[in-house]
Structure 1
Amino acid sequence: MPYKIPESLKGLNDSEVVASRQQYGYNRINTTQKNGWLELLVDILKEPMLILLIAISVIYVIIGDYGEALFMFVAIVAVSAISFYQDNRSKKALEALEKLNEPLSTVIRNGKVLKIPTHEIVVGDLCITEEGKMINADGSIVHSNDFSLNEASLTGESLSVFKNNESEDNQVYSGTIVVSGLAVFKVEKIGAATRLGKIGSSLAEIKTEVSPLQVQIGKFVKTMAIIGIIIFLLVCLVNYYQTQNLLDSLLNGLTLAMSVLPEEIPVAFTTFMALGAWKLMQKGIVIKRSSVVETLGSTTVICTDKTGTITENTMHLKHLYDFRLDQTFDENDFGNDALSELINYAMWSSEPVPYDPMEKTLHRIYEQTQKADRRQNFQMIHEYPLEGKPPMMTHLFEDAGKNRIIAAKGAPEAILNVSSLSEEEKNRVGKFIKDFGKQGYRVLGVAKSDFKGQDFPERQQDFSFEFLGLVVFYDPPKKEIQKTFQQIYDAGIQVKVITGDNTDTTKSIATQAGIIHAENTIEGKEIMEYSEAELLQKAQEKVLFTRMFPEAKLAVVNALKQDGEVVAMLGDGINDAPALKAAHIGVAMGNKGTEIAKAAASLVIIDDDLSKLITGIAAGRRIYANIKKAVQYIISIHIPIIFTVSIPLFLGWVFPQIFTPVHVIFLELIMGPTCSIVYENEPMEKNTMRRKPRKMTDTFLNWKELGISIFQGLIITIGVLFAYQLMVQKGSNEEQTRAMVFTTLIFANILLSLTNRSFYYSLFESFKNRNRLFFVVIVLTLVLLFVILYFPAVAAFFKVSGLSFQDLGIAVIIAIVSVLWFEIYKLVKRKISN
């Protein structure tokens, strides 16, 4: 390969790396320490449920009920442990994601080129960077080739800056982007000491924008908390009016407040999102913000690149068209001497160290067909980077004898426009271009020029070019791509292809790949001419967007968003960054994606496999559905707890304090894991990926869904209070009545958690979706219930007595009737929908 890194560059040895790290530390901007035990304790004490438990414990100590005070203390530890376990799982998942998100940097150490995590760069390292990469430390250039940077992140100047080791300014800075070429720079500053570090240390203080679902859940929890406070005050006043006992009134009020507060919901949301992102990471999908998982399930439009996403990105050179001979040659004839000039100039117009697959192919064909390799004899003296609409690029080389080569290549239309051809000749070449395009080939035009002196034109288009011919590549669609697109369409998601390639080539490849309505095409230059209203219409109706440039891509994405679509944008280049950032979900490719594309994206597919996006969308739909199930379960089961605590108290029933904080906290300890651990593990229901995506504007729980949950809770309440009155009518004492009510509620809780696994399919259908955690939690709950009822010491503590086999059977029957009526509702729903 030409322009290899000089052998004199050896880099640091292992001992020098260690010494440098000891002196300057790691290459990290955010050096804040992990929370200590004091911060952790404060965070725990902020939990509303724990505040309630501590208050109840204090009251028990004051009234001398030390046994219940001790139980409350154990409950505080248990609730804290569950919160810590969930928080720890979430943090570990997010830390793993953060680690995988970290880009690798290329360094020279011990004379060898290595890839290392960016945070391991040390002062003194020799870093290698190339086109499309982001600089990850400050330093000075020691070797470069055709090297230019975009320093807009620091200077605000969008134009590229060319630099080398002899430039007056030979410094490179962290956060800037390599536009062209390659450079080796010696690291002088890392982490917070870099210019970016000094400017961006405040970035850590910027809060991440919360998702719509987070906002909705937050509002719901706050509403319930306010209701809890009102009920707490009401119960305290009513009870104090009846008993004139302040501590007893406070205890009853706190018991009811505990039953109202749905503290499981925020924990469940965090757990679902973090673990969802972690599971996707294991499948090769890196989520950079866990809340993106929620948005994935709402995707309505996928805007995909063509090259490397739909196609294999192999860029096999299939044909060469020589203009002077007016003849097309296939790959078996590339060694023909008549093609030497075309092959030469196609190679010279490429980057000396090729980055693009097509340019790598041109270098390889040059090596295979040319008798003498002249690349080491020539140095690039000037470059015009890829630009224009349509784009082209020009390179100027010179050897020691001042012999000069000026080579250009680019979109055929661009090369024809700058070449000295007649209209007839342009039309003749145009027919070849169109024929190649219809076959799905990628076509580039090649031209040469001659220029004396050093006063080069400001624009490459101002050279006088001689048209040489066409180089024709074929990049076939990936083997399974038709199946992937069919899955996307089955999920009710639109597909748009946004590419810089020409219309004929794109249409051919899109048709082969199974894109529907591939005949609906439009070019980037047309996009920019439309009014806002016209653009909204065109963005919806067109499928293939060709000859696209950054502004046009951004315009299409924004138009789709404005029209209410949830847009996933796939891109891999520097030019894709604005559209990636603007889309709801920016998707970058892990292998061929540039660092700037990965930085702009919110999701990275490690192996560039488009089908992984389907996996992500399915995960998003599953997680959203499961969060809804968990929240609806929590709402439904909280209602009977609230009414069972309050109604006997307000109506002056014979046993007004049927539940104490002990019973409520036991139920909370069962509901917490069911909500946040068991439902998180629930598999996706069948046909989930054959439904239309939900609208982002939909509220989390609409009135119908909320109404169903409330109705479920009220029916269970009727069943539990029926059990209460049944025992009273039988002449049972308070302990027996409490045992019956408590047991009925436990059985109803178990059945509710099972029937709410699906709000459409039957309970028996849901059993086909294996979720072992349900079995574990149910068995553990039943074992604990048995211990509470039939171990005398425990029964005395919970103030219950053992139930007879007949009473247990009645409790089960009441629970079944109170809960499983919902199966009839689901059956009717299925009948109507069919």
Structure 2
Amino acid sequence: MEDNNFNVEGLSNAQVLESRNKYGSNILSFEAEDNVFTVIFKLLKEPMIIILLIATAIYCFSGDFANGIFLLCSILFLSMISLYQDSRSRNALEKLKLYHKPTCKVIREGALLNIPTESLVIGDSMVVEEGTSVPADGLIFHSNDFSVNESLLTGESLSVFKDAATNDHMIFHGTTIISGLAIANVTAIGMETRLGKVGISISKIPEQKTPLERQVNNFVKNMVILGAIVFLMVWGINFLHSHLFMASLLQSLTLAMSIIPEEIPVAFTSFMALGAWRLIKMGIVVKQMKTVETLGSATVICTDKTGTLTENQMSLDRIYLPVKRTIVNLQSPPDQESLAVLETAMWASEPIPFDPMEISIHDLYKKYAIHDERPRFFMRQEYALSGRPPMMTHIFEDKSGSRIIAAKGAPEAIISVCHLTIHQKEEILEAIETLSSTGHRVLGVASASFQGDHFPATQQEFAMEFAGLIAFTDPPKKNIRFVLNDFYHAGITVKIITGDNAQTTSAIAKEIGLRGADHFMNGDELMKLSDDELRLEVVKTNIFTRMFPEAKLRIINALKANHEIVAMTGDGVNDGPALKAAHIGIAMGKKGTEIAKQAASLILPEDDLSKMVDAIAMGRKIYANLKKAIQYIISIHIPIILCVFIPLALGWRYPNLFSPLHIIFLELIMGPTCSIIYENEPMEKNAMLRKPRLPTETFFSFKELFISMVQGLVIALGALLIYKYATSSGFKENTVRTMTYSVLVVSNIFLTLANRSFFYSVLETLRYKNKLVPIIICITISLTGAMIYITPVSQFFGFAPLTGRQLLICLVTGFISVIWLEGLKFFKRINTLEIQNDNSHTTVL
């Protein structure tokens, strides 16, 4: 077993460059990227753009070229805003892809390297091992107990064992390694791989929409249908009154424009894509944009122990010697008996270690071994980690036929395959408890002898001799206690799911302040429970030990059956099913296997669980801001609809007060407000002190819709009262139009400020850091002022300059139409404070 990776030399740098120039890079590309023309074509299918184009055509057809040109310019401006938002979203998504570039192992010039998968070339010697995904098609020329799952290509879920001697010794891009290790010569890359050739059909499978996406799309679709119905009604009413076909069509188009909330889908896409990009800048890789919407509602976090709660700096510092019945501290050089146990543990480890425990074993062996025997031996047979609890066995031989058989694994597994007396078992179990109680991770070590070449089918069939116990220390991360407290304050339950034993896990759990650290359950006990029993047990239990894939999956499904939103961390092959089943699968970036990363929806590059606190906070912020944006859109659309429809339906003096020109200006204000201002809003200070939202809660809940509708109705009432006041005062149509329109604009400005929070007062939210708010408001005021007081512009829009008194009436009406919400917020804060005080008294009692 040479250190130079099985004597494989691999390609030289010059050969790599030559191969890349000849065959290209290892890149799969199934979908054509959207170009500018594709985006413009999508834009032209939007209902609002279609209506504006029809209105432009009507103006031009009737000879009103000024209005037609203005509308055309407005279409271009609206399109530019949409293209800008689309560009921001697509750029954010492209950056997501850049941050999730897989890597692979390859031997070049005799050295084992970790390179980006796309840098692999034909002729490379790629190394694939348990837990990784095959990065290219290749021909196996060396392997140890190697099996691969090819269900992606074949549909067959069972793993297939392969080696250089079998007829089928090809491995294919995209398949996953279940056990062992193999070195293969790369024969095809990129689109020339088998996956590349069948991938086009795979890429055409449509992605399922999330519940929130469906809610948003259904809401907009219903509003479009309503707009179409009202459009026909208004067209009919207008035509019956005026008998003017084109004028009636134009007025009905005005109302249709006011009904369609085309800003909502744009806001949704922007919020999710930019939210994912913001998470990346915080050090959290989001694989799927839709994960962002789920983050804020997480109610339970299931975390593994090693490397997530602990440092993952496995240091072998204790050995139990069964003959002497003593625990030896390895801070000083080991004696001969301890060195023998260490050597057996080394042979039971992978020849090229990647697990922190096995690296520690190899390092200590290299440090203390008098004669390093590793170069003399090669691996003859490998029994992969398996069983409940798991163990693994390796068989090595040298050229003379001398053989070493070594096993290590969970102490219970090793004890069960060794011939021990009851008294010996009791002594070993006592040693295990002693080591576990101090937070050590304990493994059993055993050896065996076997003559002949027909090895047993399973490792448990060997007659093992117990060698001893090895114990690793892995201290908790320094910040983990604070992380758990942040989760608890946010109303999130934390559960540990680990393959380690109960004593070790409980000791660590108590040290980090996990709630319920005294109550635990192991995998075998869990599997005996019925689904209903397990649903009750997962509520009471926060520590699950000696877990295996089926048990982990049952825990996740039981929590989901209890209507919890489940986030789960994982790093191994065995975590794949549970990561996939969880609402939010979280893979570790450093110690995570490629299978875990593929199954997960989030990756923590630094294996830092505190980032999940940030991610959940970001999720809550994005969800809350999106709600604010959509509630704002609904509130401001209602008065526009009513100010267009009611004068016409009730036959008021000026039934067609507004034209498409006026509506388009309001649209130009509302677009940036909802999708730029609110997306940039900071998180409210109480966001992480609230309980997660209920999984059953719909985005468009009646209570929130009701508040938005009341806001809109009050603004509409204010605008229509000004309309009636202006007409009863004998003002001309231009003045009536200007005053009514001014109330709508003023209300829009105050609504923007008031809806920044539905809990804190506007005086509080004015201190929020969002530089876009004053910019958008100043632009709105400047443009409105120009429309009213610059004569050529006011004449174009059919406005008239307002007197100081008229303007003041509009300002006060717009202010009063919105400010009532502050009273509602005040009572909400008072009630919340009373509830908190009651809870604190209850706690004291």
Pairwise TM-score range, normalised by the shorter structure:
over 0.9
- Deviation, 1:18, is 5.6
The 1-side partners of 2:207 and 2:152 are apart by 20
Report what 1:744 is aligned to: 743
Q: Which shifted more, 250-259 or 147-156?
A: 147-156
Q: Aligned partners of 1:368 and 1:159: how far apart in 2?
A: 42
Q: Give how far 1:820 is off.
A: 0.5
Q: Measure, in 2, the Cα distance between the counterparts of 1:133 and 1:318.
A: 30
What SS is found at the alignment partner of 2:331? helix
Q: Is contact 2:569–2:585 with CA below 8 Å preserved after alignment?
A: yes
1:209-288 pair list within 5 angstroms: 209-288=208-287
- Looking at structure 2, the residues matched to 395 and 112 of structure 1 have their Cα atoms a distance apart, in angstroms, of 24
Structure 1 residue 132, shift from structure 2 partner: 2.1
Distance 1:70 1:769 in 2: 40
Map residues 538-557 of structure 1 onto 2, 5 A cutoff: 538-557=537-556
Q: Which residue of 1 aligns with 2:683?
A: 684
Once the two structures are superposed, what CA deviation does each residue of 1:645-694 show, in whole Å capped at 9, x if it has no partner? 11111222222221110000000010011011110111111111111111
Question: Contact between 2:301 and 2:566, CA under 8 Å: does it hold in 1?
Answer: yes
The answer to whether the Cα contact below 8 Å between 1:2 and 1:353 also exists between their aligned partners in 2 is: no
SS in 2 for 1:638: helix
Deviations 1:87-111 (A, max 9, x none): 1110110011012122023345566
- After superposition, the Cα gap between the structure-2 partners of 1:482 and 1:660, relative to the gap in structure 1 and judged at 3 Å, is same
The aligned counterpart of 2:658 is 659
- What do you get for the CA RMSD once the two structures are aligned? 1.8
Moved more, 141-150 or 221-230: 141-150
State the shift of 1:141 in Å: 2.9
Contact kept in structure 2, 1:298 and 1:621, CA below 8 Å: yes
Q: Residues 481 and 513 of structure 1 are in contact (CA less than 8 Å); yes or no, is this contact kept in structure 2?
A: yes
Q: Separation in 2 of the partners of 1:228 and 1:787?
A: 31
Is structure 2 residue 417 aligned with structure 1 residue 450? no
Letter in 2 for 1:411: A
Query: What residue is the counterpart of 1:39 in the other structure?
Result: 38
Q: Which residue of 1 aligns with 2:668?
A: 669
Match in the other structure for 1:303: 302
Question: Aligned runs of 1:114-153 on 2, under 5 Å?
Answer: 114-144=113-143, 147-153=146-152
Instruction: Tell me the distance in 1 between the aligned counterparts of 2:363 and 2:315.
Output: 11
Deviation, 1:178, is 2.8
Report if the CA contact (8 A) 1:312-1:475 is conserved.
Answer: yes
Q: What does residue 726 of structure 1 align with?
A: 725
Rounded Cα–Cα distance in structure 1 between residues aligned with 2:399 and 2:155: 39
Contact 1:44–1:50 (Cα < 8 Å) also in 2:
yes
Mapped to 2, the partners of 1:623 and 1:48 lie a distance apart of 27
- Cα distance change, pair 809–578 in 1 and its aligned pair in 2 (3 A): same
Q: Does 1:4 align with 2:1?
A: no
Q: Residue 722 of structure 1: CA displacement?
A: 1.7
How far apart in 1 are the matches of 2:331 and 2:104?
Answer: 40
The residue number in structure 1 matching 2:344 is 345
| Identity fraction in percent | 49
What amino acid maps onto 2:64 in structure 1? D
1:441-466 per-position Cα deviation (integer Å, ceiling 9, x unaligned): 10001111111111111111111111
What amino acid maps onto 2:540 in structure 1? E
Give, in whole Å, the separation in 2 of the partners of 1:160 and 1:383.
16
Determine if contact 2:4/2:110 at 8 Å carries over to the other structure: no
Aligned amino acid, residue 828 of structure 2: K
Q: CA 1:122/1:275 → structure 2, altered by over 3 Å: closer, same or farther?
A: same
What number of residue pairs does the alignment pair up? 833
Distance 2:252 2:638 in 1: 16
Q: In the TM superposition, what is the alpha-carbon distance from 1:35 to its structure 2 partner?
A: 3.1
Partner of 1:383: 382
- Tell me the residue number matched to 2:770: 771
Give the AA of the match of 1:392.
Answer: M
Q: Tell me what 2:578 maps to.
A: 579
Three-state SS of the structure 2 residue aligned to 1:669 is helix
Residue 731 of structure 1: how far off its partner (Å) = 2.2
Counterpart code for 2:373 = R
* 1:536 paired residue number: 535
* Worse-superposed segment, 812-821 or 134-143: 134-143
Provide the rounded CA distance (Å) in 2 between the counterparts of 1:152 and 1:220: 39
Once the two structures are superposed, the pairs formed by residues 369-380 of structure 1 within 5 Å of their partners are: 369-380=368-379
SS at match of 2:454: coil
CA positional deviation for 1:157: 5.3
Deviation by residue 1:494-535 (Cα, 9 ceiling, x = unmatched): 111000000000101111111101112100011111111111
The aligned residue for residue 408 of structure 1 is 407
Cα offset for 1:742? Answer: 1.3
Structure 1 residues 164-183: Cα deviation after superposition (integer angstroms, max 9, x where no partner): 54554432211222344544
Residues 742-796 of structure 1, C-alpha deviation per residue, up to 9 Å, x if partnerless? 1111111000011011111101111222111111111111111111112211111
Cα distance between partner residues in 1 of 2:337 and 2:695? 60
Change (3 A) 1:803 1:114: farther
Tell which deviates more after alignment, 659-668 or 699-708. Answer: 699-708
Which deviates more, 465-474 or 30-39? 30-39
Report the Cα distance in structure 2 between the residues aligned to 1:19 and 1:318, rounded to whole angstroms. 49
Q: What is residue 625 of structure 1 aligned with on the other side?
A: 624
Distance 2:150 2:367 in 1: 39
Distance 1:320 1:159, change over 3 A: farther
Aligned-partner Cα distance in 2 for 1:177–1:204: 19
Residues 121-156 of structure 1 deviation map (CA, whole Å, 9 limit, x = unaligned): 333333333332211110113455565434444445
Residue correspondence of structure 1 range 155-166 to structure 2 within 5 A:
155=154, 161-165=160-164
- TM-score norm. by structure 2 comes to 0.96
Structure 2, unmatched stretches of 5+, are 834-845
Q: Which letter does structure 1 place at the counterpart of 2:446? A: A
Contact 2:144-2:381 at 8 Å conserved across structures = no
* Deviation at residue 353 of structure 1 after TM alignment: 0.7
Give distance in 2, aligned partners of 1:165 and 1:252: 77
**In the alignment, does 2:832 pair up with 1:833?**
yes
In the alignment, what sits opposite 1:51? Answer: 50
Instruction: Report the Cα distance in structure 1 between the residues aligned to 2:367 and 2:718, rounded to whole angstroms.
Output: 84
* Corresponding letter in the other structure for 2:757: S
Return the offset for 1:21.
Answer: 4.5
| Amino acid corresponding to residue 495 of structure 2 in structure 1 | K
Q: 1:490 to 1:803 in 2, by over 3 A?
A: same
DSSP-derived class of the 2:615 partner: helix
Is the partner of 1:486 in helix, strand or coil? helix
Larger mean CA deviation between 298-307 and 196-205 belongs to: 196-205
Q: Which amino acid aligns with 1:287?
A: V
* Farther off after superposition, 700-709 or 330-339: 330-339
Higher mean Cα deviation, 214-223 or 240-249? 214-223
391 and 109 in structure 1: CA distance in 2 versus 1, 3 angstrom threshold: closer
Task: Determine if the alignment matches structure 1 residue 710 to structure 2 residue 728.
Answer: no
- Aligned AA for 2:244? N
State the AA in 2 paired with 1:802.
P
Q: What's the CA shift for 1:405?
A: 0.7
Deviations 1:462-506 (A, max 9, x none): 111111110011111100000000000111111110000000001
Residue 323 of structure 1 aligns with an amino acid whose one-letter code is P
TM value normalised by structure 1 = 0.97
Matching of residues 495-574 of structure 1 within 5 Å: 495-574=494-573
Q: Deviations over 1:281-330 (max 9, x none)?
A: 11111111111111111111111000000000011112111111111111
> Deviation at 1:9?
2.2
Secondary structure of the 1:332 match is coil
Partner of 1:824: 823
Q: Deviation per CA, 1:586-643, whole angstroms, max 9, x where unpaired?
A: 1101111000000000111111000111111111111111111111101110011011
Asked if 1:468 is matched to 2:467, the reply is yes
Is structure 2 residue 354 aligned with structure 1 residue 330? no
Q: What are the superposed Cα offsets for residues 24-73 of structure 1, whole Å, 9 maximum, x if unpaired?
A: 44433334332345433321111111000000001101111100000110
Question: What residue number does 2:811 align with?
Answer: 812
